[in-house]
Chain A
């Protein structure tokens, strides 16, 4: 009887979770939907406390209290710029929970001598994927937080070695399915999972992190699915499937935005292309034309339509608020201002939108690449702030460029282009940019925050 009650509670929670994801299709319904999801979580947890296997509550309470104490700062204090590493960090948490439950369940069934092959398959997948996601996410966290070097770390025969190790993990998985009571093989799977997680993220550079974070999301989801199979818990299967679908869809979207094939993403073999050598060959020629703040401000102030192209440089300089002030001033003068958001403008999917929304910029001014690309033709000034690769014409014209084939924003179709840039160096991927030396482009050198502030002051005077 209690069991049926718990199952019905799980069903209700699943429905609420799906409803919440549906509500995320619109910004004005999203918040309410997520509040319902939180309510669903509460129902599921409350019902679980009635489970007949539970005989003591003290350790549950201790764990929950500590978790809540860790979770609160992770929810309320983490700045929006740190969102990618924060998400990577929680993937590690989620996967660790799944892995530990897998090991605990194995110990329980081993003790009862009731391990079946079906359950063993699920448990094997659970710990292999879980362990891989734990260390993979921690590596991604370390790179994003700059605790680890962001550049790719490579060694000879890396892909071969990784594949061989992963193959050994799969072989171990098959072994424990056939012989469930070989504890050492089960332990070996955990260790291999942990190692593979480190090894697959190691060769990946900082610019590829949006793909990695999405992919780890999918892996964490699949680990949850395996947990659901092992424990015969449908709500875990449903949520894991949702999580996995979300992770894979975002990975595909991100890999498309960076022109990498899905197979490349799936096997984590990306980021190992020797970009540096090729970049030297594709060096742009010509001189950059510098512009002074007052000239740039006049051009903006007397424009009809302006499109701002924000890049990660804007976030690094913490210049979102200055950007917003400039937009407000321009709009007061009747200038039509939009933001062009490239899918990989930040360090994770949709990151730039969140950063700009935080600064109070209305979301209907944030236009996706597909929708805004045709608007550049009728635009007087394209203002590029701290973006480089996403506006690099080499992605279209130069076959030897490492970013060749990546979809870019049509900035060069605007009547004139002003680029705010810290210095004369190359972008994140080390590629020179032809846009910066084009005749219609003017460069405004300096810190993005300072430049935007000065532009705002000058626009006020104009």
Chain B
């Protein structure tokens, strides 16, 4: 095993641990936004796709890379938009309630 691989393993295990800690604290209320969010973030494979599509190695690589850029980009754009849409609803639900309270006080 090379030293690079060992460092990679370190990164993987520690990131997994951090992820586990962070995600167990997400309440079931937000589990669907969580899935949409991880989906959006996993669009980071865009960075690998970009290198493949732009490296001009061979026709095959460029074609595969371009399709990969498209797929990853769709996840990034769609993922962040839909997560925001959902989280805005949870915001709105709260705002609506505050409004209600305010109007109840007036009456």
Interface string of A40-75 (1 = CB under 8 A from B): 010011001101011111011011101110111111
Q: Is A17 part of the contact surface with B, judged by Cβ < 8 Å?
A: yes
The yes or no answer to A158 lying at the interface (CB within 8 A) is: no
Give the shortest distance, in Å, between B3 (CB) and chain A (any CB).
11
Chain B residues within 8 Å of A25, by CB: 22, 25-27, 30
- Looking at chain A's contact residues, is the secondary structure mostly helix, strand, loop, or mixed? helix
A179 to B91, CA, bound (A): 55
What would 19 more interface pairs be, CB under 8 Å, given A60-B54, A75-B77? A21-B19, A38-B40, A41-B76, A67-B70, A70-B73, A97-B48, A100-B64, A104-B60, A118-B5, A217-B35, A238-B15, A241-B12, A250-B34, A349-B34, A357-B89, A358-B89, A360-B92, A362-B97, A363-B94
Our count of residue pairs bridging A and B at CB distance below 8 angstroms stands at 377
Indicate whether A97 sits within 8 Å of B25 (C-beta atoms), given known contacts A53-B51, A55-B55, A71-B74. no
A181, CB-defined interface residue at 8 Å: no
CA distance A233 to B7 in the complex (A): 11
Q: Which residues of A contact B (CB under 8 A)?
A: 10, 13-14, 17-18, 20-22, 24-25, 27-28, 30-31, 34-35, 37-38, 41, 44-45, 48-49, 51, 53-57, 59-60, 62-64, 66-68, 70-76, 78, 80, 83, 86-87, 90-91, 93-94, 96-98, 100-101, 103-105, 107-108, 111, 118, 213-214, 217, 220-221, 224-225, 227-229, 231-247, 249-250, 253, 341, 343, 346, 348-351, 353-354, 357-358, 360-364, 366, 368
* A242/B71 in contact, CB under 8 A: no
A233 touches B23 (CB 8 A): no
Q: Pick the contact of B48 from A30, A233, A368 — CB < 8 Å?
A: A233
What residues of chain B lie closer than 8 Å to A41, measured between beta carbons? 40-41, 43-44, 46, 76, 80
Q: Which of B48, B75, B88 contacts A93 (CB 8 A)?
A: B75
0/1 string, B83-107, CB within 8 A of A gives 1? 1111111111110110000000000
Assuming the contacts A55-B54, A245-B23, A250-B31, asked whether A224 and B12 have C-beta atoms less than 8 A apart, the reply is no
Q: Please measure, in the bound complex, the distance between the C-alpha atom of A244 and the C-alpha atom of B26, giving whole angstroms.
A: 15
Cβ contact within 8 Å between A234 and B74: no
Contacts A31-B91, A108-B61 given; does A242 touch B32 at CB 8 Å: no
**Which residues of chain A have C-beta atoms less than 8 A from B41's C-beta?**
17, 20, 37, 41, 239, 242-243
Expressed in whole angstroms, the Cα–Cα distance for A237 and B13 within the complex equals: 9
Q: Select one of B40, B64, B68, B69 contacting A37, CB under 8 A.
A: B40
Residue in A closest to B62 when the chains form the complex, CB atoms: A59
List 16 contacting pairs A-B, 8 Å CB cutoff, sorted by A. A34-B37, A57-B54, A59-B54, A94-B39, A94-B42, A94-B75, A98-B68, A101-B52, A224-B42, A237-B15, A242-B16, A242-B23, A246-B19, A246-B23, A246-B34, A360-B96
